């Protein structure tokens, strides 16, 4: 009786990271195994195991003798259309006993966290167990030793890259700020000075553009570790995407529940950031901590406590960490969206007179610090060196060389449709709602449509006359433009204007 | 732009209690609102609000301008085919601040738990937040005052029935044991002695039969509170199903994550049980606590600690609670499955010589204690009174009267197909795997097919000869019978036999 093996069908349903399997409630396997709707089941194809949530189909789009898979289940199993999927009750997870122990007051040790992160990284732990784990880690739930153990466990269950050189430089920005694409400037400046900086960046998850999305409009980013290594050996730096998934896979699973739970866990945040840096082979890391009313860290004192923890845990892994607080009150540069941010970056590299000075200044500060950390500049001399490398065109030449090494430089796309939004009255710009600006950019199509987004024309503090352009929406279709405009009409203003007497 | 209102379609997908909405990823509302797959969205139909998980459809079974709903979403919204569903971002839940506070060390008070249970009962709290709540309540997470406050909050957000008489008797069995259908005997015995016992029972969730399933094979159980009241006024007792959902709706939502999390929380368990009893208008409650290797409470000491907590919290609500430990080592009676358990009950009521004595004995002990608690028998005299009421036919007459009052008594269905399973060798029965027996009954079709299940022919301790019948499977189809038999062949034996020298 092979009722537990059914040919696979792609359901065409996207359930984000949660694998879902669809079976008829009256299928032999559901009757035989007693699988209820919303139960966890294990799917097996050619030795690959995936834990999925079961949804019962009660209509005719699925036959009794087949199984349909959501996009996540399909991708994780690597199934082919019609291939047999074995379905069974999931094994009992021994690691969950450690979670229960922690809930009942036992501290986590290396063994416990290693077992838990191994199961988490394999997708064997359900969302509600992940939520339970995040809850016990929240607040002061993890002490320094547990944070170190968690970081180590996250590193151990992922891949770890050894670049065979020292020092390997890296940077990270906590929380994100629209337009803050300093990485695309920092990497070529640092690499042009002879330091090694193999940068892996992520795509946007909730924002209008990630560093990977912006870079992709200028060069290919889908490089594996071997290809990255060739670029870094030749140019000293790279800016690629994606392979982070193999570096700290447990962290990728946890983020999925951390975001909606919205519990502050310093230990989890530190382990998340540092496990990725250790796994990526970094040795000296600069962390940019924007502090503002809508950023992840909202007060200077919270940012300073987090910095101390990052430095202390990093030291356990031989990682030199330096954290700097930065202004998080308004978008950086002008563009919000992959290509629009890439244009800002190119304007700075090409030293064009209209290049956004705030983006340039932030990048120079970070690059200067990294050059000092790398021993390429004396303490206090990094900023001057960084500026000279940018001003004399070496940074631009290095960036072009990196793009060519990654597969060839290209010109970012331009959106077919734009709409300028103007000030209804005169006044002084007192605030820019960075979240609303990012949302408008997303409604216009970013980051899926790399040409879409918004371009800001004003900065906080400026005097604005009535009818002056505040920002321009860019979209690939009239429909997308209309959605973004319709949304904005129902919202408070993106740019707050105080009418002056 | 009414892009946020889409005509509803029933997806025919059963996601148990989790409402799921299906939208095309390229629908106007997803593009405009930025709804990602697996996001929480709020659905509104005629003033009814339901929180659902969004799944993106990427194939043609759904149009861009319509929304499909899972069975749970469909039922909760009460939507009609083609009716407009409004879709929007869910409101920020103020109550989650209390959960975050508790995670960070603040004790729950009445205000916090009331706000949380109100949102939980309305389905506004996601599974991962429910999991976080259960985690902070686990172990010693709730002290006595918090347990009382949680019970009160669960009662307050549900309906509360006032029977207008005193004392109102009730019983509850913690954890469940296959075949333990004492309620169908206890209610008529107690009611026949003049006590008032309006019993609301649940259907099976993971077992082969709930009390409601067994009762339904003998009489209608779908009575609302007004109909229950008429039955109780006439007969003193009733055994109905379903309306518990309105009595402690918050508890129903929590159970959904408590089961897979498998964290022991005495506070949650006590609040769960007592909120339903207080809401149902009970005043004196007898709790049956089976203790065995596969029951919910597995040691006598754990059972005693739980009893003390139940008594103390019950007292805060004027509820007199008495808990008794019972033998949980093997199934009760012979039948496992709705109709098969009903036959056992009828055999006891009709005083047939082959009636299962263990079921009879357990019911008499519980009924005797309830009669003493109700003041219908002197302390120590309840058992004798209960036995006389059963033996002289008054319990049978009362049961028939209750069935008639509930809508008419009927004869439970008989399965068309049976298969006897016999002992492969001679030996003494040392154990019966109650979970495996229940699973075999479910594979044969119980409880969906009320005639299906298993009938046990032996008890622990009996000497068995080779070829002697151990149990009989009952099924509505040859296919279902084959599934159950095929499953059993791959499992350890249901009845463990020790070969004797």
Same domain, A297 and A231: yes
Contact list in B for residue A21 (CB cut-off 8 A) is none
A163 shares contact with chain B (CB less than 8 Å): no
Contact list in A for residue B482 (CB cut-off 8 A) is 1
Distance, CA of A370 to CA of A118 (rounded, Å): 34
Same domain, B445 and B323: no
Predicted confidence (pLDDT) at residue B243 exceeds the cutoff of 60: no
Q: Is A422 exposed, middle or buried (0-12, 13-18, 19+ CB in 10 A)?
A: middle
Contact list in A for residue B1 (CB cut-off 8 A) is 482, 486
Domain stop point among B374, B405, B436: B405
Q: Which of B13, B58, B482 sits opposite A22 (nearest CB)?
A: B13
Domain stop point among A355, A370, A405: A405
Determine if the peptide bond prior to A167 is cis (ω within 30°): yes
pLDDT band, very low/low/confident/very high, at A1 (cuts 50, 70, 90): very low
CATH number of the domain that residue B393 is part of: 3.40.1030.10
Q: Please, which residues bridge with residue B453 across strands?
A: B474
CATH number of the domain that residue A80 is part of: 2.40.40.20
Higher-confidence residue: B106 or B1? B106
As a whole number of Å, the CA-based R_g of chain B is: 25
A302 shares contact with chain B (CB less than 8 Å): no
pLDDT tens profile A379-390: 999 999 999 999
Same domain, B173 and B318: yes
Interface pTM, i.e. ipTM: 0.81
Q: Which of A18, A55, A261 sits opposite B13 (nearest CB)?
A: A55
- What is the span of the domain harbouring residue B175? 169-245+264-405
Domain stop point among B381, B405, B429: B405
pLDDT tens profile A157-184: 998 999 999 999 999 999 778 899 999 9
Q: Left, alpha or beta for A164 (phi > 0: left; psi -120 to 50: alpha)? A: left
> What percent of chain A is helix, strand and coil (3-state, nearest 5)?
40, 20, 40
Q: What is the mean pLDDT of chain B?
A: 92
Active site residue B119: no
Same domain, B149 and B204: no
Cα of A487 vs its chain's centroid, Å: 26
Nearest CA to B208 out of B412, B446, B443 is that of: B446
Same domain, B387 and B272: yes
| Residue B177 distance to chain A (closest CA, Å) | 18
Q: Which of residues 119-158 of A touch B (CB under 8 A)?
A: 126-132, 134-136, 138-140
A3 shares contact with chain B (CB less than 8 Å): yes
Lowest average pLDDT, out of B103-107, B202-206, B466-470, goes to B202-206
Q: Say whether B58 and A32 touch across the interface (CB within 8 A).
A: no
Residue of B nearest to A32 (CA): B443
Predicted confidence (pLDDT) at residue B245 exceeds the cutoff of 60: no
Give residue B487's pLDDT: 84
Question: Number of A:B CB contacts under 8 A?
Answer: 166
Q: Say whether A262 and B55 touch across the interface (CB within 8 A).
A: no
Residue A225 domain-assigned?
yes
Same domain, A363 and A427: no
Q: List strand residue ranges (DSSP E) for A204-349, in order.
A: 237-241, 284-291, 320-327, 335-336
Distance, CA of A91 to CA of B437 (rounded, Å): 21
Domain count, chain B: 4
Lowest average pLDDT, out of A166-175, A241-250, A403-412, B315-324, goes to A241-250
Contact list in A for residue B28 (CB cut-off 8 A) is 479, 483
pLDDT tens profile A29-69: 887 777 888 888 999 999 888 889 999 998 888 999 999 99
Average pLDDT over residues B96-107: 92
Same domain, A370 and A441: no
Q: Which of B12, B56, B127 sits opposite A59 (nearest CB)?
A: B12
Same domain, B114 and B130: yes
Distance, CA of A490 to CA of A487 (rounded, Å): 6
Same domain, A377 and A448: no
Q: Which of B4, B264, B358, B361 is catalytic?
A: B264
Q: What is the mean pLDDT of chain A?
A: 92
Same domain, A425 and A390: no
| Residue A132 distance to chain B (closest CA, Å) | 5
State the pairing for strand pair A197-201/A237-241. Answer: parallel
Q: Which of residues 337-376 of A touch B (CB under 8 A)?
A: none
- Residue numbers of A annotated as active site: 264
Give residue B448's pLDDT: 85
What letter would DSSP give residue B58?
Answer: -
Percent over 70 (pLDDT), chain A: 99
Same domain, A396 and A433: no
Helix crossing, A249-261 with A144-156: angle to 10°?
Answer: 130
Residue A102 domain-assigned?
no
Distance, CA of B198 to CA of B191 (rounded, Å): 9
CATH number of the domain that residue B473 is part of: 3.90.1170.30
B67 shares contact with chain A (CB less than 8 Å): no
Render B306-334 in DSSP notation, one character per residue: HHHHHHHHHHHTT-EEEEEEEE-SS-SSS
Give residue A243's pLDDT: 57
For A397, phi then psi, to 5°, come to -60, -40
């Amino acid at each position: 009786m092979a009722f537990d093996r059914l040919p696979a069908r792609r359901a065409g349903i996207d359930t984000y990271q949660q694998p879902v399997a669809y079976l008829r409630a009256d299928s032999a396997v559901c009757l035989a195994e007693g699988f209820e709707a919303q139960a966890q089941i294990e799917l097996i194809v050619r030795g690959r195991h995936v834990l999925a949530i079961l949804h019962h189909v009660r209509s005719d789009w699925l036959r009794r003798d087949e199984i349909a898979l959501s996009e996540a289940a399909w991708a994780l199993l690597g199934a082919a259309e019609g291939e047999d999927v074995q379905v069974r009750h999931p094994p009992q997870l021994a690691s969950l006993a450690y979670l229960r122990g922690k809930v009942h007051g036992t501290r986590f040790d290396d063994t416990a966290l290693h077992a838990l992160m191994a199961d988490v990284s394999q997708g064997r732990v359900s969302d509600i167990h992940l939520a339970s784990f995040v809850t016990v880690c929240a607040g002061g739930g993890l002490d320094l030793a547990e944070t170190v153990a968690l970081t180590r466990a996250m590193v151990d269950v992922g891949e770890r890259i050894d670049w065979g050189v020292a020092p390997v430089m890296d940077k990270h920005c906590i929380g994100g700020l629209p337009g803050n694409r300093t990485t695309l400037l920092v990497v070529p400046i640092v690499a042009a000075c002879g330091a090694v900086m193999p940068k892996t960046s992520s795509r946007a998850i909730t924002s209008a553009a990630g560093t990977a999305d912006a870079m992709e409009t200028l060069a290919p980013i889908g490089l594996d570790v071997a290809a990255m290594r060739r670029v870094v050996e030749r140019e000293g730096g790279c800016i690629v995407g994606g392979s982070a998934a193999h570096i700290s896979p447990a962290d990728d699973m946890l983020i999925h529940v951390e975001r909606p739970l919205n519990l502050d866990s310093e230990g989890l945040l530190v382990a998340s950031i540092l496990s990725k840096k250790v796994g990526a082979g970094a040795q000296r890391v600069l962390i940019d901590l924007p502090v503002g009313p809508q950023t992840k860290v909202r007060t200077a004192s919270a940012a300073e406590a987090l910095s101390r923890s990052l430095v202390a845990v990093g030291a356990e892994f031989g990682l030199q960490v330096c954290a700097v607080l930065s202004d998080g009150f308004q978008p950086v540069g002008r563009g919000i969206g992959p290509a629009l941010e890439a244009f800002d970056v190119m304007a700075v590299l090409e030293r064009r007179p209209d290049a956004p000075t705030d983006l340039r200044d932030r990048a120079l500060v970070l690059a200067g610090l990294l050059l000092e950390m790398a021993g390429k500049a004396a303490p206090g001399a990094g900023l001057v060196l960084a500026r000279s490398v940018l001003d004399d065109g070496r940074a631009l030449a290095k960036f072009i060389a990196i793009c060519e090494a990654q597969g060839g430089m290209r010109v970012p796309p331009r959106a077919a449709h734009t709409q300028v939004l103007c000030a209804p009255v005169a006044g002084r710009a007192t605030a820019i709602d960075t979240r609303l600006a990012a949302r408008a950019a997303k409604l216009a199509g970013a980051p899926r449509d790399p040409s879409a987004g918004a371009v800001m024309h004003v900065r906080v503090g400026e005097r604005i006359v009535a009818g002056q352009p505040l920002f321009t929406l860019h979209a690939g279709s009239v429909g997308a433009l209309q959605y973004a405009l319709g949304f904005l009409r129902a919202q408070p203003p993106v740019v707050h204007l105080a009418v002056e007497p």
